[in-house]
Amino acid sequence: MTAIAPISPDAQDLPSLIDRAASTLAGAKTAAEVLEARDMAGLAYDVAKRAARLQRAKSAHDDLVAAAHRAQAHALEIEARAKRRLADEYDAAQARGEVKRNGGNRSSVEDRNTASAADLGLRRDQIHEARQIRDAEAAEPGIVRRALNERLEQGEEPTRAALRKMVVAAARRGMRPQRPASRLNPLHVPPTPERAAWQHVTGTFRAFAEWATDENLALARQGMREARDDPFHHLDARAIARGAAVFTRIKEWFDAQ
């Protein structure tokens, strides 16, 4: 496992741990850096989980327990993103012949000169899980965030086990063969990957535009004011900024036509 760089005492609070994991992943250029980000997120998750249990043991106010749960969710989301990248990095390394395809024992001269999963600090079950998360997100974009939000909205703890259960279900749905064209429309042609990607973009815009009534936006603005003191408010602001930049880029496509 990749060794995590020492964390200064003033960075031991949860928001700093989570922010550091997110920043490390965003700037990661190598598989080793992705591994480091994953381990940082895992550490933040463990700290948040202990904090939630401690708050419950103290019969603390529900807001304190909920804050710890939100920290767990943030950490799990970053950890899941890191695992998705690890799956891509590992598969690419296998395709280049840098990593054994079976990840296990070396049985030939060529294999003996090729790294194994263990050489990279990974277990085969971790690789399998990383691929499941990647495949689930490909089949149902946003499944990790939705699964975590569902736990939070129900007042339940967002755990790795609960997330894994939903991810595995989504990955399995993605593995099912596509249904043949409807008999009611024999001229139906499934969209190309490019067209499907565009439909995902337009569907996202349309759904948001339909939701964004004056009433809902007023509620969201009030919620933003109430969340200003939330220790993870800056992470939400950063996500909104990234989303706004993407929305602007897509609008520029139309303007350039």
Higher local confidence (pLDDT), 203 or 124: 124
What mean pLDDT do residues 120-147 have?
87
Cα separation, 170 vs 91, in Å, equals 20
Most confident stretch, 100-104, 121-125, 144-148, 176-180: 144-148
Question: Which sequence spans correspond to the domains of the chain?
Answer: 1-177
**Which of 31, 46, 2 minimizes the C-alpha distance to 92?**
31
pLDDT in tens, 152-175: 988 889 999 999 998 888 878 776
Higher local confidence (pLDDT), 209 or 83: 83
Cα separation, 254 vs 54, in Å, equals 52
What mean pLDDT do residues 139-151 have?
88
> What's this model's pTM, rounded to 2 decimal places?
0.64
pLDDT at 95: 83
pLDDT at 190: 65
Cα separation, 25 vs 79, in Å, equals 9
